[in-house]
A and B are shown apart, each in its own frame.
Chain A
Amino acid sequence: MATQTPTQAVLDKTAQSKPRRLWLDTVHEWLTTVDHKKIGQMYIGYALVFLLVAGLEALLMRIQLAIPNNTFVSPQVFNRLFTMHGTTMVFFVGMPILFGFGNYLIPLMIGARDMAFPRLNAFSFWISAFGGILLYFSYLGGDGLYGAGSAPDVGWFAYAPLTARVFSPGHSTDYWTLSLLLSGIGTIGTALNIVATTICMRCPGMKLNKMPLLVWLYLVTSLMVFVAVSPLTAAQIMLLLDRYLGSHFFDTQAGGSALLWMHFFWIFGHPEVYILVLPAFGFASEIIPVFSRKAIFGYPAMVAATIGIGFISLSVWAHHMFTVGLGAWGNTFFTFATMIISVPTGIKIFNWLATLWGGRIHLVVPMLFAVGFLFQFLIAGLTGIMLSAAPFDWQLGNSYFVVAHFHYVLVGAILFMIFAASYYWYPKMTGRMMSEKLGKWHFWLFLIGFHLTFDFMHIPGILGMPRRIYTYEADRGWMILNMIVSSGAVFQTIGSLIFVYNLIRSYFNGEIAGPDPWDAWTLEWTTTSPPPVYNFATTPSVESRRPLWDLKHPEDPDSSYE
């Protein structure tokens, strides 16, 4: 089964003269673009900036917590730091970067020219971007630059009635509410675009069961966005009405319910974390097969598992509320639903494992991160099962064990796959390879830092350390562990900076990539790197899930087996 050279391109081969352009022209082009590739890259760049900012916030917190009774930052500043760190990472790093990759890749992977609604696409980006800037303006917008500022300090989940006017005077909570309302509109717009594009713009022959798994995962993610982000929007409108128009949605003095906010928030919050992780699964389902040199094992099962996860994730939200007094039957139901979601999730891990089995595994940098993802997501899932057992959660909930668990998912699984996706698709976006050597430094430093921080972080939770405390007592036995946890942050910072340096340097010095540097099989690798603005000179037509494999192996195409 020898590989064959793909057929020659029928591209426009007239030499393209590149006139000298004013800097302003370039800025104007990017500001007014409706091209999904540019918008995707703007999302990614924007998210990387916020990754560094929120990472700095984390570093400041870890310095404060390294020793007990530390006075590096005041309690007020610390409370703002953890609120801003969480809010930024979820809404202005995680969501934009994942939707950025989706924006870039989906039309290319389905043989389309752009997204279904290019202007809506641009609008969604800019409104989300404005939301992020509004959130950070809060540092300045209140008491001014000198030692204060109105950054929100109510936690990223902003429980009522702490957010009521009486307990949170001033405008900090309103910055939180408004910036997320805006970015929520952007998210719903992008999700709408993804669904419409996926359903209405696939190239001929690409039936739904022939789409790359990444596209399936983004489709389910986007459908979940409609049902999950809207409850947060509704709850935030209610909060604004309470704070400004004197309504009583969460006003316990008027008979209102603090629990109602929690339900609404977590009806958003739990599917939200699946919205963040499903695209990471999509990256894994594209990258792992290519570097195992095998097709993904069990495509139909993977699709079914994804849809299963999408549905079940809508029914587990109150596992964040095991301690609020739901009653034995309530706690039992949510324990059950949460344990059940481990089944489709496990199916995914097993299918990736089976893809690796019998393959020829190339441990290049994207694959290193994907392997890290596999181990770390396994552990994250298992600590999730521990937390799903309500009586165990009565001890572990709201402690550093939970913080360790969710960072294991967000950093160990999602961020690792974002790194993998970056190294894997950077050549397509820029036409150049990233430095493999710097990539390995990034991987190993970050891996060591990640495990130092987040492995050890489970233990203070077991020893009784709750979340969101700006300091702790010296007699609890938490000091050494906190120091180790804080030390890992240093390695992660250095690793991340190497990554950013690699991104910038490779743009100018990287090896030329060509259209298909990884010998992959999906449609984005059939066009040039970077693709022309129209993506494909002629609309492709496909007969299997791996059109390039069929071309490279005409004697043994996938279409015979599907």
Chain B
Amino acid sequence: MSLSEAAVIPHSSNEPWKLPSRGVVGMVCLIIAEAAIFIIFVVAYVFYLGKSLTGPMPRDVLELPVVSTICLLSSSITVHMAVHTLQHGKRSACSLWLALTVLLGSIFLAGTAREWYQLIYHDGLTLQTNLFGTTFYSLVGLHATHVVVGLFLLSLALLFSLRGQVTTTHAARLEVLSLYWHFVDGVWVVVFLVVYVFGR
């Protein structure tokens, strides 16, 4: 390639040029996309309320999942504390808060599993039973899948933290992960209200 001329634009500005963080913007975009997917499943759930031709109805079989909900929503607080402590360099505190987050999320999943066991084996409600079964399991299941992914990532973060490999420089990344976790909790608030409160 021979020498070629190209124009160079000289630096002229002295003001600081600060743009938002890529990780946060990227995660916000992902959250918007995932929110759109959840909205469609919620719309299907609401649209089909009362339209099942047979089978158990929501009010027959659903109970308010109070404990699971409290655990999941509290885990938003604990993950926030994990980020906060890491920002201030307190790694062992961060490990503790991360562990609590994983624990609370796991309790939520266990609660869902218990609820589903009850519904399938005692109430006879499956994905195939009727429109309620179809929309209930898909919506709650989609959310649970997102919880699983989040717990996996949080466990990884916990592992790195316990091994002493996490420092303040990683606080921004942990914050991005915590945004995802807050989103998952936010979705649960909507699912809880639509399925267990208004829809029953």
Nearest CB of chain B from residue A503's CB, rounded to whole Å: 21
Pairwise interchain contact B17-A192, C-beta atoms closer than 8 A: no
Number of A-B pairs, beta carbon distance below 8 Å: 164
- Chain B positions within 8 Å of A523 at CB level: 9
Partner of B7, one of A230, A249, A516: A516
**Is B114 on the interface with A (CB-CB < 8 A)?**
no
A 525-562 binary contact with B (CB < 8 Å = 1; else 0)? 11111000000011011110001100100000000000
**Is A319 on the interface with B (CB-CB < 8 A)?**
no
Pairwise interchain contact B128-A526, C-beta atoms closer than 8 A: no
Partner of A233, one of B1, B29, B37, B138: B37
Q: Which of B45-53, B73-81, B97-105, B179-187 contacts A (4 or more CB under 8 A)?
A: B45-53
**Contact A526:B7 (CB < 8 A) given known A230-B33, A230-B37, A231-B36:** yes
Pairwise interchain contact B8-A260, C-beta atoms closer than 8 A: no
Nearest CB of chain B from residue A556's CB, rounded to whole Å: 17
**Is B44 on the interface with A (CB-CB < 8 A)?**
yes
Pairwise interchain contact B26-A248, C-beta atoms closer than 8 A: no
Partner of A196, one of B7, B29, B142: B29
Chain B, residue nearest A513 (CB)? B4
Q: Which of B37, B51, B53 has the most CB of A within 10 A?
A: B37
Q: Which of A164-172, A197-205, A280-288 contacts B (4 or more CB under 8 A)?
A: A197-205
Pairwise interchain contact A230-B9, C-beta atoms closer than 8 A: no
A 233-260 binary contact with B (CB < 8 Å = 1; else 0)? 1110110010001111100001111001
Chain A, residue nearest B19 (CB)? A200
CA distance A200 to B48 in the complex (A): 42
Pairwise interchain contact B11-A204, C-beta atoms closer than 8 A: yes
CA distance A222 to B28 in the complex (A): 13
Partner of A247, one of B4, B11, B17, B138: B138
**Is A274 on the interface with B (CB-CB < 8 A)?**
no
CA distance A503 to B22 in the complex (A): 36
- Chain B positions within 8 Å of A222 at CB level: 29
Chain A, residue nearest B9 (CB)? A540
A 109-130 binary contact with B (CB < 8 Å = 1; else 0)? 0000000110000000000000
**Contact A260:B26 (CB < 8 A) given known A523-B9, A541-B10:** no
Chain B, residue nearest A247 (CB)? B134
CA distance A201 to B20 in the complex (A): 9
Chain B, residue nearest A527 (CB)? B6
Interface residues of A in 373-418 (CB under 8 A from B): none
Interface residues of B in 1-32 (CB under 8 A from A): 1, 3-13, 17, 19-22, 25-26, 29-30, 32
**Is A9 on the interface with B (CB-CB < 8 A)?**
yes
Interface residues of B in 77-126 (CB under 8 A from A): none
**Is B195 on the interface with A (CB-CB < 8 A)?**
no
**Is A156 on the interface with B (CB-CB < 8 A)?**
no
**Is B192 on the interface with A (CB-CB < 8 A)?**
no
**Contact A230:B6 (CB < 8 A) given known A116-B26, A248-B134, A254-B131:** no
Nearest CB of chain B from residue A539's CB, rounded to whole Å: 8
Partner of A9, one of B8, B11, B127, B142: B8
Pairwise interchain contact B40-A543, C-beta atoms closer than 8 A: no
Pairwise interchain contact B32-A255, C-beta atoms closer than 8 A: no
A 495-532 binary contact with B (CB < 8 Å = 1; else 0)? 00000000000000000001110000001011111000
**Is A26 on the interface with B (CB-CB < 8 A)?**
no
Pairwise interchain contact B20-A200, C-beta atoms closer than 8 A: yes
Partner of A245, one of B10, B37, B48, B128: B128
CA distance A245 to B29 in the complex (A): 31
Nearest CB of chain A from residue B11's CB, rounded to whole Å: 5
CA distance A255 to B1 in the complex (A): 68
Nearest CB of chain A from residue B23's CB, rounded to whole Å: 8
**Contact A234:B22 (CB < 8 A) given known A255-B52, A540-B9, A551-B7:** no
- Chain B positions within 8 Å of A205 at CB level: 12-13, 17
Chain B, residue nearest A542 (CB)? B9
Pairwise interchain contact B5-A8, C-beta atoms closer than 8 A: yes
Pairwise interchain contact A9-B7, C-beta atoms closer than 8 A: yes
Interface residues of B in 53-81 (CB under 8 A from A): 53
Chain B, residue nearest A241 (CB)? B138
**Contact A227:B22 (CB < 8 A) given known A204-B11, A254-B131, A526-B7:** no
Pairwise interchain contact B19-A541, C-beta atoms closer than 8 A: no
Nearest CB of chain B from residue A528's CB, rounded to whole Å: 5
- Chain B positions within 8 Å of A28 at CB level: none
Partner of B9, one of A117, A227, A229, A541: A541
Pairwise interchain contact A541-B7, C-beta atoms closer than 8 A: no
CA distance A227 to B37 in the complex (A): 8
CA distance A222 to B30 in the complex (A): 12
Pairwise interchain contact B47-A260, C-beta atoms closer than 8 A: yes
**Contact A234:B6 (CB < 8 A) given known A116-B26, A196-B26, A248-B131:** no
Partner of A528, one of B4, B17, B19, B47: B4
Pairwise interchain contact A200-B127, C-beta atoms closer than 8 A: no
CA distance A540 to B11 in the complex (A): 7
- Chain B positions within 8 Å of A254 at CB level: 53, 130-131
Chain B, residue nearest A552 (CB)? B7
Pairwise interchain contact B22-A528, C-beta atoms closer than 8 A: no
CA distance A16 to B2 in the complex (A): 9
Q: Considering the complex of A and B, which 10 residue pairs feature the smallest CB-CB distances, nearest first?
A: A6-B7, A230-B36, A234-B40, A246-B128, A540-B9, A247-B134, A204-B17, A226-B33, A515-B6, A192-B29
| Subset of 5 A-B contacts with CB under 8 Å | A192-B33, A199-B20, A204-B11, A230-B33, A247-B127
- A249-B134, A255-B52, A515-B5 provided; 19 other pairs, C-beta below 8 A? A6-B5, A8-B8, A11-B4, A116-B26, A117-B26, A192-B33, A204-B13, A230-B40, A237-B138, A237-B142, A241-B127, A245-B128, A255-B48, A255-B51, A260-B47, A514-B5, A515-B7, A537-B8, A551-B9
Chain A residues near B (Cβ < 8 Å): 6-11, 13, 16, 116-117, 188, 191-193, 195-196, 199-202, 204-205, 222-223, 225-231, 233-235, 237-238, 241, 245-249, 254-257, 260, 264, 267, 431, 514-516, 523, 525-529, 537-538, 540-543, 547-548, 551
Chain B residues near A (Cβ < 8 Å): 1, 3-13, 17, 19-22, 25-26, 29-30, 32-34, 36-37, 40-41, 44, 47-48, 51-53, 127-128, 130-131, 133-135, 137-138, 142
